[in-house]
């Protein structure tokens, strides 16, 4: 293996009223296209089965429950796993997970080419806020609907290589890629749903958001010498714009494929996992170059603490 064609399956908008079945049918159509192009891995977005519901403040438990999957595969998603096996194509997609003991996570799974789940990831970096925020132009209640992931940044063997997953906001944090880089990751899949506008700064248009998304992904790929396949849910969901810009980035940080529309759109690239070797053996040979004795703050301190003597100097200025 190690050489295969990968597909990024961008999804256009999913409205509040769209059924799981209608969405799964769109996803299967993209799998059909990917199969015709000989792809052996297809990557779908974050929360791929529903609209980006954390934009809505709901309080009725029954209304909230409708957005989550309590089993995977479920009846509605089984066709995806069956298609994966039929096409011998590994798939990844994100969904809202409700565990049997009542925990809620923003989750993604990855299967092998037989449609068996080989990796599960629960989103660790939850952006937004945990309570209704009246001043915002729209809500981003991921801290209200989900708990931080409890599975860590993990990797698995798939298609002959080391693969890992992250979700949306995770892509903005270098720790995400480095944790997988330290486990030898060669290809990271990332789904995202990114509002085109900043709910707190209406003047920040989506050009800036596309730039920051791409910058983060290219940096993560290059600094850990890994492929990254990052796929958007795009378009206008019940009046709320999400950026597209799905892309495939190689281990040198170059964009090798990018979506052009805000709709369901397949992008593909020929992946050779061995292209990640040179970076891992030279510039980013972690064992030869990293000095962990100097990195303590990164995992011991959460927020910013300006050193006392610096604070004193600032007071004198």
Residues that bind ligand ING (CB under 6 A): 127, 168-169, 172, 192-194, 209
- The vertex-154 CA angle with 23 and 27, nearest 5°, equals 15
CA 191 to CA 46: how far, in whole Å?
A: 4
If the CB atoms of residues 80 and 210 are measured against ligand ING, the closer one turns out to be 210
If the CB atoms of residues 211 and 254 are measured against ligand ING, the closer one turns out to be 211
Residue 168 annotated to the active site: yes
If the CB atoms of residues 172 and 178 are measured against ligand ING, the closer one turns out to be 172
Tokens of 97: 């997970």
Q: Rounded to the nearest 10 degrees, what angle do helices 206-223 and 174-181 cross at?
A: 20
Tokens of 133: 């925020």
Residue 107 and residue 97 in contact, taking contact as beta carbons nearer than 8 Å = yes
State the catalytic residue, choosing from 40, 46, 142, 265.
Answer: 46
State whether residue 56 is helix, strand or coil. Answer: coil
In sequence order, the 6+-apart residues with CB closer than 8 A to the CB of 53 are 16, 47, 67, 96, 145
If the CB atoms of residues 98 and 172 are measured against ligand ING, the closer one turns out to be 172
- Please identify the residue of the shown chain whose CB is closest to the bound ligand ING: 169
Work out how close the CB of 279 gets to ligand ING at its nearest, in angstroms, rounded to a whole number. 26
If the CB atoms of residues 221 and 271 are measured against ligand ING, the closer one turns out to be 221
Q: Phi and psi at residue 140, in whole multiples of 5°?
A: -140, 75
As separate numbers, helices (DSSP H) first and strands (DSSP E) second, the chain gives 10, 14
- Of 87, 108, 98, the closest CA to residue 44 belongs to 108
If the CB atoms of residues 127 and 184 are measured against ligand ING, the closer one turns out to be 127
Work out how close the CB of 192 gets to ligand ING at its nearest, in angstroms, rounded to a whole number. 5
CA 298 to CA 296: how far, in whole Å?
A: 5
Query: How distant, in Å, are the alpha carbons of 101, 176, 299 from that of 303?
Result: 32, 17, 11
Work out how close the CB of 235 gets to ligand ING at its nearest, in angstroms, rounded to a whole number. 15
Q: DSSP string covering 192-203, please?
A: E--BSSBTTBTT
State the catalytic residue, choosing from 83, 98, 113, 123.
Answer: 123
State the catalytic residue, choosing from 97, 142, 156, 168.
Answer: 168
Query: How distant, in Å, are the alpha carbons of 2, 95, 106, 127, 268 from that of 45?
Result: 23, 9, 12, 17, 15
Residue 123 annotated to the active site: yes
Q: Which positions are catalytic? A: 46, 123, 168
């Amino acid at each position: 293996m190690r050489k295969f064609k990968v597909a990024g399956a961008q999804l256009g908008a999913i409205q509040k009223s769209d059924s799981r079945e209608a969405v799964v049918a769109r996803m299967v159509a993209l799998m059909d296209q990917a199969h015709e192009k000989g792809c052996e891995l297809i990557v779908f977005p974050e929360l791929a089965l529903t609209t980006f519901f954390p934009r809505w403040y709901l309080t009725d438990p029954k209304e909230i429950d409708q957005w989550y999957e309590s089993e995977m595969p479920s009846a509605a998603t089984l066709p995806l796993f069956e298609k994966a096996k039929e096409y011998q194509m590994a798939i990844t997609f994100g969904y809202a997970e409700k565990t049997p003991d009542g925990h809620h996570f923003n989750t993604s799974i990855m299967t092998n080419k037989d449609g068996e789940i080989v990796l599960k990831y629960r989103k660790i970096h939850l952006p937004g806020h945990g309570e209704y925020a009246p001043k915002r132009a729209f809500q981003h209640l991921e801290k209200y609907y989900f708990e931080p992931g409890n599975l860590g940044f993990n990797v698995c063997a798939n298609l002959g290589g080391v693969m890992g997953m992250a979700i949306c906001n995770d892509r903005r944090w270098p720790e995400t890629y480095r944790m997988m880089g330290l486990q030898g990751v060669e290809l990271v899949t990332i789904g995202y749903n990114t509002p085109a506008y900043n709910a707190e700064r209406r003047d920040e248009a989506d050009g800036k958001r596309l730039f920051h998304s791409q910058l983060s992904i290219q940096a993560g790929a290059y600094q850990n010498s890994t492929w990254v396949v990052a796929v958007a849910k795009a378009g206008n969901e019940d009046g709320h714009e999400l950026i597209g810009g799905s892309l495939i980035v190689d281990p040198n940080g170059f964009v090798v494929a990018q979506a052009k529309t805000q709709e369901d759109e397949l992008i593909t690239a020929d992946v050779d996992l061995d292209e990640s070797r040179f970076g891992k053996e030279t510039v980013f040979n972690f064992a030869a170059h990293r000095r962990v004795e100097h990195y303590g703050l990164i995992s011991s301190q959460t927020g910013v603490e300006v050193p006392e003597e610096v604070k004193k100097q600032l007071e004198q200025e």
